[in-house]
Amino acid sequence: MSDWLKVNLSAQTAAAQWGPNALLSFNEGSATVHATERRRIQQAGRRLRSQGLTQVELGEGFGQEQQWAFAEGFMSALGGEQIRWAGDSAELEARFKVARWVRDITNKGPEQQSPQMLASEAASFITALGGEKVSYKMISGEALKDAGWTGLYNVGRGSERPPVMLVLDYNPGTEDTPVAAALVGKGITFDSGGYSIKASEGMLYMKADMGGAAMVAGGLALSILRGLQKRVRLILCCAENLVSGNAYKLGDVLTYKNGTTVEIVNTDAEGRLVLADGLLVASESGAPLIIDAATLTGAAVTAVGSSYNALFALDREMAAKVNAIANAEDEPAWPLPLEPFHQFECPSAYADTANSRPVKGGGAGGASNAAGFLSRFVRDQGQGWVHLDLAACFNNNENGLWSAGATARGIRTIARSLLDLT
């Protein structure tokens, strides 16, 4: 008997012996999913994977999006899944390849993934897809300080493993081809909270605080596999936020390359500090489209739950376009408030702004205030810039739809934005 389980999809209800609301029924060597709604199909994939199955062949009744819904549920943090697709499989193979990479790199333990390792693995993955169209440089440790990248340097200097900025260029044109888009990702490979230290239960899952870096790298990778012919700059801001005698402290004042001064009132609000440097690099590129992605605030998760990513933009037209793409790609996002006044919602007596409010979780409107902080570091008053706070990119525990760990929800949105909006 084959080790592969044949799985079909049917809009009809299961036979009575399987129960009145059965999602799955079985014959010898095959299973049938009785569903039409996407979440139910994904749930079927999760159930079959939870039974220990690793090899499935999708057959009758499955369209492309139904197959992907099943695959999202079938993929596990343990890996090893194999899926034979029904019909034309090129797009599904591309999604699976990238999503598997994003999940695996996000799920890695912090000891297995230093800032240097994250930057190197992302560069290698994209170079393997883009070949000679890809070039990159890395700035590390004291060289970041010398170059003026104060946020990334200070957040990462408390670790023995130095912070790294990856600046990668995907250029299918000539040397003078303008940059069409820039992607910026938060790559905090472990976040203790620094001196504003997290409780143990909150720190346990902080290996995933580099989910934004994985997401933008994955989005670029998927767009390359989809045939991207535009020049894109990728900036990953990678660091460990640890406690040591060399760690940055509450009360420090940082001065950024654009002259903005920032008082540190919470060392656990480190993501926005490293992204600020990345957004300055993105703005220097002249790209008319800038997208950053980060596991930035618990406030975003509180606001939208784990089924949506939160979307922020001062550019309302661009926000609407990216939001429409997210919905079309079955990766729903939800716009949250961002106005110019949010730049001033974290006041400081000693600097232009603080990096948060000195209260638990940053206080009311924390996700919008974090986005307001970031808006200080993008050019043209935020025109063409979109910030994604990735509430849906990681699950602490398995549920009926997802395995524990990373979900890769966001790669399709970023990939299509690069293809459609540049």
- In angstroms, what is the C-alpha Rg of the chain? 22
Axis crossing angle, helix 211-225 with helix 115-130, rounded to the nearest 10: 10
Contact, 23 vs 43, CB < 8 A?
yes
Q: Is 230 a catalytic residue?
A: no
Which own/partner contact pairs does 30-39 have at CB distance under 8 Å and 24+ positions apart?
30/5, 30/6, 30/59, 31/5, 31/6, 31/7, 32/7, 32/8, 33/7, 33/8, 33/9, 33/61, 33/70, 34/10, 35/9, 35/11, 36/11, 38/65, 38/66, 38/69, 38/330, 39/69, 39/401
- The catalytic residue among 6, 47, 198, 257 is 198
- Output the CA–CA distances (angstroms, integers) from residue 326 to 178, 309, 334, 397, in the order listed: 26, 9, 9, 24
Q: CB burial class (10 A; 0-12, 13-18, 19+) of residue 20?
A: exposed
The number of angstroms, rounded, from the C-alpha of 133 to the middle of its chain's C-alpha atoms is 23
Say how far apart CA 369 and CA 367 lie, in whole Å: 5
- Euclidean distance between CA atoms 376 and 362, whole angstroms: 18
CA 216 to chain centre: 6
Q: Which of 272, 376, 409, 412 is catalytic?
A: 272
Q: Is 6 a catalytic residue?
A: no
Pseudo-torsion of CA 52, 55, 57, 62, nearest 10°? 50
What letter would DSSP give residue 201? Answer: H
Q: At what angle do helices 64-74 and 38-50 cross, to 10 degrees?
A: 40
Q: At what angle do helices 64-74 and 90-107 cross, to 10 degrees?
A: 20
**What whole-number distance in Å separates Cα of residue 338 and Cα of residue 313?**
6
Which of 53, 52, 100, 93 is closest to 79 using CA atoms?
100
Q: Tokens standing for 412?
A: 């399709």
The set of catalytic residues is 198, 272
